[in-house]
């Protein structure tokens, strides 16, 4: 499918915003050249104000925001978006930047957002991007794997074993906890070891841990190298759990609900375009990441994205987080997600 023009050709020489120009052309065309102005008694049509917005995307699941910007969907929604990339320092730095007003809306992982809100940081989730869809076709690109020659064949074999995860309390850790629970394996019978994601495979190869939960290129390269899958990942054990979300400060949302609604509209259009144009998605990753082009073009699984949420996914994730003592017992979906996005 041929990509849409980032700006329609009749806007190219305009010196006003696209929204104002489009409305001006429509009303001028309806009036005709000989109709005097101000004689009909009808009020002048209001031109919607274009709202400036600073949006910070992350380094993963980037396609819908970039394509919404490139294809003009944010512009059509009445936004003048300055699309940036979240800086270093992780989710805590992003949240602080939101609260300080350095950006208006930013992408982050769902667990980081939940932790921040649990700690009473004044932010709120305003949109989704990626959730664990159990109905998605194709092999999962995350999961529990074991090195060549391992005696571990299923979850029951993990008793007394060490499991490497990128972060304690992160989504991979929560997923393994949910899987162990479903397989009636007490948490006391396994040991979790936090290891940086790029060091997980070597840790399993050298015997530091017995199994690892990893994802994306790390998992696929390991499987190609002889690792064996034991579990299939988030969409099996935490179905519909949010993975990548968009957050804003509560103050910004309260003062700018129309801007947030427009962001949802533009991002929704970008998400639909992403889902329908896989070649464009792969181009975005080639141009905006350091992933190897052969991986992007031939191996990388393209997830179906959505700005909407399924509450049961949030509820199950929160249940596991409460089991681990990661969040307070009274934390709810309604406290986490802005009412306009529920």
**8 vs 118: which has the higher pLDDT:** 118
What is the Cβ-side half-sphere exposure of residue 314, based on CA atoms within 13 angstroms? 20
Query: Is 120:71 a contact under the CB 8 Å cutoff?
Result: no
**17 vs 224: which has the higher pLDDT:** 224
Spell out the residues 6+ positions from residue 85 whose beta carbon is closer than 8 angstroms to its own. 56, 57, 58, 59
Q: What is the pLDDT of residues 259-317, one digit of tens each?
A: 999 999 999 999 999 999 999 999 999 999 999 999 999 999 899 999 999 999 999 99
CA distance 227 to 94: 35
Average pLDDT over residues 204-210: 98
Burial classification of residue 180, based on how many CB atoms lie within 10 Å of its CB (0-12 exposed, 13-18 middle, 19 or more buried) = buried
- Of 260, 239, 235, 236, the closest CA to residue 249 belongs to 260
pLDDT at 154: 94
CA distance 282 to 262: 26
pLDDT at 136: 86
pLDDT at 8: 34
Residue % of the chain over a pLDDT of 90: 79
Q: What is the pLDDT of residues 235-247, one digit of tens each?
A: 999 999 999 999 9
For residue 165, report the phi and psi dihedrals to the nearest 5 degrees: -135, 155
**301 vs 50: which has the higher pLDDT:** 50
Spell out the residues 6+ positions from residue 273 whose beta carbon is closer than 8 angstroms to its own. 4, 64, 67, 68, 71, 73, 280
Query: Is 242:198 a contact under the CB 8 Å cutoff?
Result: no
Report helix, strand or coil for 231: strand
Query: Is 113:120 a contact under the CB 8 Å cutoff?
Result: no
pLDDT at 156: 94
Query: Is 264:188 a contact under the CB 8 Å cutoff?
Result: no
Q: What is the pLDDT of residues 63-93, one digit of tens each?
A: 999 999 999 999 999 999 999 998 765 678 8
Average pLDDT over residues 170-188: 96
Q: What is the overall mean pLDDT for the chain?
A: 88
| Angle, helices 278-288/63-70, rounded to nearest 10 degrees | 100
CA distance 246 to 85: 13
| Angle, helices 110-118/90-99, rounded to nearest 10 degrees | 60
**242 vs 11: which has the higher pLDDT:** 242
pLDDT at 93: 87
């Amino acid at each position: 499918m041929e990509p849409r023009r980032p700006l329609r050709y009749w806007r190219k020489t305009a010196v006003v915003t696209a929204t104002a120009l489009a409305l001006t052309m429509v009303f001028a065309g309806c009036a005709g050249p000989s109709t005097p102005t101000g004689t009909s008694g009808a009020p002048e049509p209001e031109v919607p104000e274009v709202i400036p917005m600073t949006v910070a995307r992350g380094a993963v699941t980037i396609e819908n925001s970039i394509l919404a910007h490139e294809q003009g969907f944010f512009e059509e929604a009445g936004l003048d978006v300055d699309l940036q990339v979240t800086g270093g320092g992780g989710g805590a730095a992003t949240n602080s930047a939101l609260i300080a007003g350095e950006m208006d809306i930013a992408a982050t992982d769902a667990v980081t957002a939940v932790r921040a809100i649990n700690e009473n940081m004044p932010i709120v989730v305003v949109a989704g991007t990626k959730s664990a869809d159990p109905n998605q076709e194709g092999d999962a690109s995350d999961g529990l794997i074991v090195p060549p020659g391992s005696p571990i064949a299923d979850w029951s074999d993990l008793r007394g074993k060490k499991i490497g995860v990128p972060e304690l309390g992160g989504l991979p850790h929560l997923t393994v906890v949910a899987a162990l629970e479903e397989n009636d394996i007490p948490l006391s019978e396994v040991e979790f070891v936090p290891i940086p994601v790029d060091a997980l495979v070597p840790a399993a190869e050298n015997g530091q841990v017995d199994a690892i939960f990893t994802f994306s290129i790390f998992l696929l390269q390991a499987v190609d190298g002889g690792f064996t899958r034991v579990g299939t990942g988030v969409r099996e054990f935490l179905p519909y759990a949010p993975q990548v979300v968009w957050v804003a400060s509560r103050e910004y949302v309260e003062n700018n609900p129309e801007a947030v609604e427009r962001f949802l509209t533009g991002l929704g259009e970008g998400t639909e375009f992403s889902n329908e144009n896989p070649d464009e998605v792969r181009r975005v990753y080639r141009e905006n990441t350091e992933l190897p082009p052969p991986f992007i073009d031939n191996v990388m699984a393209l997830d179906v994205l959505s700005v909407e949420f399924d509450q049961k996914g949030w509820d199950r994730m929160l249940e596991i987080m409460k089991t681990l003592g990661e969040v307070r017992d009274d934390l709810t979906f309604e406290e986490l997600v802005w009412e306009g996005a529920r």
